[in-house]
Structure 1
Amino acid sequence: MVSKAGEETQGAVAQATALGVVIQLPSPLDATLREWRRRYGGQAAAAIAPHITLVSGSTTDWDSAVRHVRKVAAHMPVFRVGIRGTGTFRPISPVVFMNVIEGAQACGRLHDALVDGPLRHELSYGYHPHLTIAHEVEDSIMDLAQEELSGESMTFPVDSIGLFGTDSAGAWSLREELELGGPTS
């Protein structure tokens, strides 16, 4: 229960809210990657903007989580990401992705800082920065994506991170774009 003052009363259970922090890709790279996602993952995959997930989970204290994400962003320097070639999580998970080569350590530092605080949660697997191309589609399509995109590469600067939550319809939506502000490394 919540009182008029907004304070939780004894016995109340806080409701979890979905939250994600991602690196979005700049134009025109996002259009290219969205087309690859459509080609190999279908229209549903293309509807989700290409991104590199930093953290995904839920929180029972949205305001505290947002303050934490803002603080992490403010202390992280701008960096470059280089994506090259493909990889897969098969047979453990039916995913084909593009490898984050340049900037993988910076993504890891961001991830570690984000989960050190109110976003702390257990991971089933270690953090591995990547950009998903195909997920839960036929093996033949994942094989094709992995082969055809194996020679592709692109680089871009990362000067912000996106904070996502679910909207009233349950769809992921950008809540806030947070500029990185730490000293350049």
Structure 2
Amino acid sequence: MGTVTLGVSIAVPEPHGSRLQELRAGFGDAAAHGIPTHVTLLPPTEVAAERLPEIAAHLAGIAATSEPFAMRLEGTGTFRPLSPVVFVKLVEGASGCDRLQELVRDETGPVPRELQFPYHPHVTVAHGISEEGMDRAFEELSGYEADWICRSFALYEQGADGVWRKLCDYEFGSGRTVSAVPAQCGSPVESPAATPAV
């Protein structure tokens, strides 16, 4: 069956998701419209396609034992010079994200994954673009604020075209697969895709 590249993340809801995605594109990040605005729980990970049902069941189990929590974005940060990234800071909800990502990557689960850097939840708004573009992102979003209650996370698959498409959402408290996060306007990342069996 080959392999697929998966990622797990918390989507930034509307209207914030589309707004940040458009700003990211405006800063010169050509990949912006292929990436939903998100907080990463599992970075891009290549797995055997036949393991999708097992991974889906794993994620459903995590969601079933999780509870909604508050998330708040405020201001900007950067990983430069270590990594060419500018991000909006997560100032509330980091502990909830950290718990989830540890469970997703658990060494006894189907997607054990070592991280290149220590986990630091954030929302990327510029990656691998010119220094001028990253400076602009850092400055223009320095006063940015948004907050919401996180009630689910999502499983995504990266297509051959580089675009990340959502396979399904996992609702906290039940583990049910739902469509709780609206599509980001003008984005292909919410195109219909086959939902993995659980």
| TM class by smaller structure | 0.7 to 0.9
Structure 1 distance, partners of 2:159, 2:56, is: 16
Find 1:30's aligned residue among 9, 13, 17. 17
Q: Which residue of 1 aligns with 2:46?
A: 58
Give unmatched runs, 5+ long, in structure 2: 175-198
**Could you tell which deviates more after superposition, 90-99 or 17-26?**
17-26
How far off its partner does 1:77 sit? 0.5
Question: CA 1:142–1:171 in 2, change beyond 3 Å: closer, same or farther?
Answer: closer
| Secondary structure of the structure 2 residue equivalent to 1:41 | coil
The answer to whether the 8 Å contact 2:10/2:39 transfers is yes
Structure 1 distance, partners of 2:162, 2:26, is: 25
Give the superposed CA RMSD: 1.8
How far off its partner does 1:175 sit? 0.7
How far off its partner does 1:46 sit? 3.3
Higher-Rg member (1/2): 1
1:172 maps onto 2:172 in alignment:
no
How far off its partner does 1:59 sit? 2.2
- Percent identity of paired positions between Structure 1 and Structure 2: 38
Q: TM-score, normalised by structure 1?
A: 0.84
Mapping of residues 8-157 of structure 1, within 5 Å: 15-56=2-43, 57-60=45-48, 61-116=51-106, 117-157=109-149
| Secondary structure of the structure 2 residue equivalent to 1:162 | strand
1:159 maps onto 2:139 in alignment:
no
Number of residue pairs matched? 169
Structure 2 distance, partners of 1:170, 1:42, is: 14
How far off its partner does 1:179 sit? 0.6
Structure 2 distance, partners of 1:171, 1:146, is: 25
Q: Which amino acid aligns with 2:20?
A: L
How far off its partner does 1:170 sit? 5.8
Structure 1 distance, partners of 2:69, 2:14, is: 17
Question: CA 1:175–1:149 in 2, change beyond 3 Å: closer, same or farther?
Answer: same
